[in-house]
Amino acid sequence: MHIIKNDIFAGITAAVVALPLALAFGVASGAGAIAGLYGAIILGLFAAVFGGTSTQISGPTGPMTVVTAAAIATFPNDFSTVMTVIFLSGLIQISFGLVGIGKWIKYIPYPVISGFMSGVGVIIIILQINPFLGVESNSSVIHTLTQVLNTLHNADDHALVVAYITLGIMFLTPKFITKYVPSALIALFVVTYFTISTNYEVATIGSIPVGLPEFILPISFDILQLSSIITLAITLALLGSIDSLLTSLVADSMTKTKHNPKKELIGQGIGNAACSFFGAIPGAGATMRTVININSGGTTKLSGMVHSLTLLLIILFLAPLASEIPLAVLSGILIKVGFDILDYKFLRIMNKVSRQDLLIMITVFLLTIFVDLIMAVGVGITISSILAVYQISRNTRMKTKRSKSSFEIDIGNNNIEIIKIDGSLFFGTVSELDNKLDKISENKIVILDCKNVSFLDISAIFTIEDMIAKLKNRNIKTLLVLKHAHKRHILAVDTDGSFKKNKMFFHMDDAINYTQQLQMEQNV
């Protein structure tokens, strides 16, 4: 009973924190404040019920809002197609969960995540410049920046006052107060009351429908737009998955538990797909709301469900009051959110990290802001992978030595060449082995000592196969010394039997003894 009481209290607290953010993200997306609230309710409920993280609170987040805004800009006056994008993104997330792709998220390099998150934070800040100044907002970062002088010229003084007061509350509210009442909620009520009492004429959220949302069937779209739809859907699915699983890791560290990544992605996918049927914007696991839920005593999925039901009650009974909230207030709240998203942990050590890490972070950061979020992550991972391959290649050692057996000393012959490989033998290092083998003179026996090879990929196997054939044409015999596991791997892909015709040993002594037998046979 005590646990249930704590979960109910934690869920209500999380809902109070989520309220201003859901409204703000809904407006920022271009779908409207009510779409943000419905997103928090629907995704929050389904992700809590079907997800794999007991304490996670889900709802609209910065990265997902940015992509949703891009989708709405891509398909203007075509809300059904936008909902199709969201529906497909949910299905893709479910497929991610079914195939277990969640476990690979942890392999994304930190500089990629840092550049992406900081880039999203900057996007949110830039896109709030117009509503902060009381000017109609624009969903394009570049357009907003190029028109900033004209925007300043048309700024509304009342909107500026409202926005500055909001920022002041967001940044300056003491921690001992925000521990009990979030600054966003304080700003929402205080500045809205101030605006109404002073009769300031500023743009507001406007009419919010009271009651349950209308049902939308998200399957109506132009087939010619399918490429853009799928691209945006994949973007939402990837960002939602990364965002949610990173939040799950935070929840794990705080609660000393372990989340189920498969279930979490399936739950998030079901929630986002359900959002599309009710005109709601998608979201993901929200770190700040999850942390507040845990700190407030939330321990089970009940807290996430209570969070959603609390927001639903707010819509049903307090929607008319929310319609009076100025857009400038929401812009001030979102600007603070944008600053909070910036990765200060990395920014503080930028002058101390390696040039490679700095290059990756800055590249992802700039691509996120000015090009495309998925391209930014893709390019970052590609650069990181290339640099990782380079580093692994440098750590792989190949030593060549000549071996004299007792028989060889007797006959004065020295025709065994041993190439000892330490490290990984894969597409990034196998070219060095090829170069060494090209320098070997004819009438030799080559022993490839792969006992200390930790990793052997298919590129290396096929390259070795080609090398053996080339050496055979030069009258050079090749012997392999390798682990049992590597031999099984090689034989499994040896479709034409070329390796089976070649001698493979598990110990170097056996290979040397075999060469002595060959030499004795040749000299009989």
Q: pLDDT, tens digit, for every residue of 35-90?
A: 999 999 999 999 999 999 999 999 998 889 988 998 998 888 888 899 999 999 99
Q: Which long-range contacts (CB under 8 A, 24 or more apart) does 75-80 make?
A: 75/225, 75/228, 78/221, 79/31, 79/216, 79/279, 80/216, 80/217, 80/218, 80/220, 80/221
- CB distance 15 to 296 below 8 Å: no
Greatest mean pLDDT range, 164-168, 181-185, 421-425:
164-168
E strand intervals along 327-457: 397-403, 416-425, 445-456
- CB distance 468 to 451 below 8 Å: no
Per-residue pLDDT at 401 exceeds 70: no
* Range with the poorest average pLDDT among 203-217, 280-294, 346-360, 444-458: 203-217
Predicted local confidence at residue 116, as pLDDT:
83
Span 397-523 CATH architecture: 2-Layer Sandwich (3.30)
316: how many CB neighbours lie within 10 A of its CB? 11
Share the mean pLDDT of the chain. Answer: 84
**What are φ and ψ of residue 452, in 5° steps?**
-100, 15
189-195: average pLDDT: 91
State the amino acid at position 248 in one-letter form.
S
Torsion on CA atoms 308, 312, 318, 321, rounded to nearest 10:
70
**Residues forming a β-bridge with 266:** none
Per-residue pLDDT at 516 exceeds 80: no
- CB distance 72 to 82 below 8 Å: yes
Per-residue pLDDT at 521 exceeds 70: no
- CB distance 58 to 43 below 8 Å: yes
Predicted local confidence at residue 420, as pLDDT:
84
- CB distance 284 to 264 below 8 Å: no
pLDDT digits (tens, 9 = 90+) for 474-515: 888 888 888 888 888 888 887 777 777 788 888 888 888 888
360-389: average pLDDT: 87
Per-residue pLDDT at 409 exceeds 50: no
From CA 514, how far away is CA 505, in angstroms rounded? 10
From CA 331, how far away is CA 167, in angstroms rounded? 9
From CA 341, how far away is CA 365, in angstroms rounded? 13
449-472: average pLDDT: 82
Q: Which residue has the tokens 């920046």?
A: 145
Per-residue pLDDT at 441 exceeds 90: no
Three-state secondary-structure class, residue 335 = helix
Predicted local confidence at residue 410, as pLDDT:
39
* Range with the poorest average pLDDT among 45-59, 166-180, 296-310, 425-439: 425-439
pLDDT digits (tens, 9 = 90+) for 134-149: 888 877 888 889 988 9
317-338: average pLDDT: 84
211-223: average pLDDT: 73
336-365: average pLDDT: 89
Per-residue pLDDT at 103 exceeds 80: no
How much of the chain exceeds pLDDT 70, in percent? 93
Predicted local confidence at residue 273, as pLDDT:
95
How much of the chain exceeds pLDDT 90, in percent? 26
Q: Is the dihedral of CA 463, 469, 473, 477 positive or negative?
A: positive
Predicted local confidence at residue 408, as pLDDT:
39
Kindly give the interhelix angle for 2-29 and 287-295, rounded to the nearest 10 degrees. 160
More confident residue, 107 or 219: 107
More confident residue, 219 or 153: 153
Per-residue pLDDT at 411 exceeds 50: no
Quickly list H helices, 30-78: 33-50, 62-74
Predicted local confidence at residue 4, as pLDDT:
82
Q: Which residue has the tokens 């075999």?
A: 514
Inter-CA distances, 146 with 137, 149, 152, 363, Å: 13, 8, 12, 22
179-202: average pLDDT: 87
Predicted local confidence at residue 98, as pLDDT:
93
Sorted by where each begins, the domain ranges of the chain are 2-137+144-211+223-353, 397-523
Q: What is the side-by-side order of every strand in the sheet holding 504-505?
A: 397-403, 416-425, 445-456, 477-481, 504-505
- CB distance 98 to 104 below 8 Å: no
Q: Which two tokens stand for residue 252?
A: 């794990």
Query: Residue 301, Cα to own-chain centre: how many angstroms?
Result: 24
Q: Could you give the maximum distance between any two Cα atoms of the chain, in Å?
A: 111
Residue 306's pLDDT band, with cuts at 50, 70 and 90, is: very high
More confident residue, 273 or 500: 273
Per-residue pLDDT at 407 exceeds 50: no
163-185: average pLDDT: 87
